[in-house]
Amino acid sequence: MGNDTGFLEHSKQNVPRRPIAERIKDFREYDVHYSESEIKVQASRCMDCGIPFCHNGCPLGNQIPDWNDLVYRGHWQEALDTLHSTNNFPEFTGRICPAPCEESCVLNAYYTLDEEERHRKKNSVTIEQIEKHIADRGWQEGWIKPQPPKKLTGKKVAVIGSGPAGLAAGQQLRRAGHEVTVYEKSDRLGGLLIYGIPDFKLEKINVQRRVDQMQAEGVRFITNCHVGKDISTQNLRSQYDAILLATGAQQKRELTTEGKDLQGIHYAMEYLPQRNQFVAGDAPKPDAVQAQGKRVAILGGGFTAADCLGNLNRQGADRRVYQFEIVNMPPRPTPVHEEVDPDCRGNILTERVIGDENGAVKGLQAVRVEWKQEDGRNVMKRLEGTEFTIDVDLILLAMGFIGPTVSGLVNDLGVKISMRGSKDLLAASETLEMLDDGQQPMYSIHADNRFQTSEEGVFAAGDAKRGASLVVWAIWEGREAARSIDQYLMGESALPTSPQAEVLA
């Protein structure tokens, strides 16, 4: 490393952000860049530790100490090349990944605070921000260019889904020389990057630039095409030598309590795409969710819930927003929690939604719960006497996803699905019954460590294969699936693989 004592000389600098009063009036990204001198100082804190764990914490195996050193020395283009060697889309991960690499940074060991303090005062290198700076510098300087294949193989691959897994796989497969077509059922490319993540976290120019790059490399994109409906799976099979299912995990966890069908209850992935379409300039739909002036409760404590919160604040909802999580809510305040002071509570079970005489939501009844281990299982216990009721007009459900949509495409292809916690494989047409404790089962498309499903020539990657997860995992899965497909088609592959691929698969 260029500065062996940088971690002793410099403190971790908070990520610079736009003033709250300014950013809540628009949908531009709330994070801004460090100055070049500041980013070099932050890179200098990488401490040349004997055994770095950061790149093991990152599924992609990013060579973090290497590009930290290159940034510190001012070798930005070399840093970009090093970053691109493991990550197709560092400007995505540099903005929306929760940075497991920073959790693994050896510098965190210098804090012996309690868990909450450790989370608020991480001493790690600012890996994610440095990654973003490298990628953005690459675009600014014109260093990021299309890389079309030098020779073609004559093999054809269909990628179903244009989220981060599908895009990463499509780009790698094209660079290996295959003819690649990416199918997307929506009108825009990018999957949840476009219709899930708000612009204040990821402005869409970052996605479009990569799509443009891939098109220039020869990847073909087809939008507004729901495979299994608009094009048959038989047609797909006859046209392509291999198929990759990168459809995501879109089956929502349902609200099962009394009053779940009242007007004014909406899923987050019904609400968030509408808001992103609004920001993109699309005409509002007649049934668009209106939140202005409303009292809102968000059920869920993850990043999707925070995305809803940021949109509600910008849409003019009542400032007293409730956010309830059925398990303990971790102490991980997001920038949108800085913008408004929501009533966030963990270990809260919604027992009933209360409606008015017109069948619309007017309240929510809930109770505190605690979780205990019994026979190796987490069991929820209702705490008597802790019941409470709140007045709300709108409820947004951000309770996660249980797996991919299995009707249509998955069912028609005949691929098997696997249940969380079970070795048994099911046909996609089999009913996914509620478990004994009333919980909805978690499932995914079954694929082996070569990403091949139960059907010859059909592969799966991303959330469809591993369940709802992080963008960094989706990119890793797309890259590794591309290598497996390339090997399946050609007998060997020169595409790179993550150093820990066998461990992480």
**What string of pLDDT tens digits covers the 505 residues of the chain?**
668 889 889 989 989 999 999 999 999 999 999 999 999 999 999 988 878 889 888 999 899 999 999 999 999 999 999 999 999 999 999 999 999 999 889 888 765 445 555 554 578 999 999 999 999 999 999 999 999 999 999 999 999 999 999 999 999 999 999 999 999 999 999 999 999 999 999 999 999 999 999 999 999 999 999 999 999 999 999 999 999 999 999 889 989 999 999 999 999 999 999 999 999 999 988 889 999 999 999 999 999 999 999 999 999 999 889 999 999 887 667 899 989 888 999 999 999 999 999 999 999 999 999 999 888 888 999 999 999 999 999 999 999 998 998 888 998 999 999 987 777 788 876 655 544 445 678 899 999 999 999 999 999 999 999 999 999 999 999 999 999 999 999 999 999 987 655 544 4
Q: Quick one: residue 432, left, alpha or beta (phi over 0 = left, psi -120 to 50 = alpha)?
A: beta
Exposure string (b/e) for 354-363, b if CB count within 10 Å is 16 or more? bbeeeeebbb
Q: Using the 8-state DSSP alphabet, how is residue 112 labeled?
A: -
Sheet containing strand 416-419, strands side by side: 425-427, 416-419, 443-445
* Residue 451 to residue 483: CA distance in whole angstroms: 10
CA dist 325 and 306 (Å) reads: 12
pTM score over 0.95: no
pLDDT at 434: 45
The number of C-alpha atoms within 13 Å of 140 and in the hemisphere containing its C-beta is 10
Q: Report the pLDDT value the prediction gives residue 499, as an integer from 0 to 100.
A: 67
Q: What is the pLDDT of residue 505?
A: 46
Given this model, what pLDDT does residue 112 score?
45
User: CA dist 264 to 16, 195, 298, 326, Å?
Assistant: 37, 21, 12, 21
Residue 408's pLDDT is: 85
Place of tokens 């404590």: 301
pLDDT at 117: 53
Domains of the chain, each with CATH number or no CATH: 6-141 (1.10.1060.10), 156-251+402-504 (3.50.50.60), 254-399 (3.50.50.60)
Residue 316 in tokens: 């003019």
Structure tokens at 330: 């971790």
Q: What is the DSSP letter of 6?
A: H
CA 419 to chain CA mean position, Å: 21
The C-alpha atoms of residue 103 and residue 242 are separated, in whole angstroms, by 37
Residue 160 φ/ψ, nearest 5 degrees: -100, 105
pLDDT of residue 504: 47
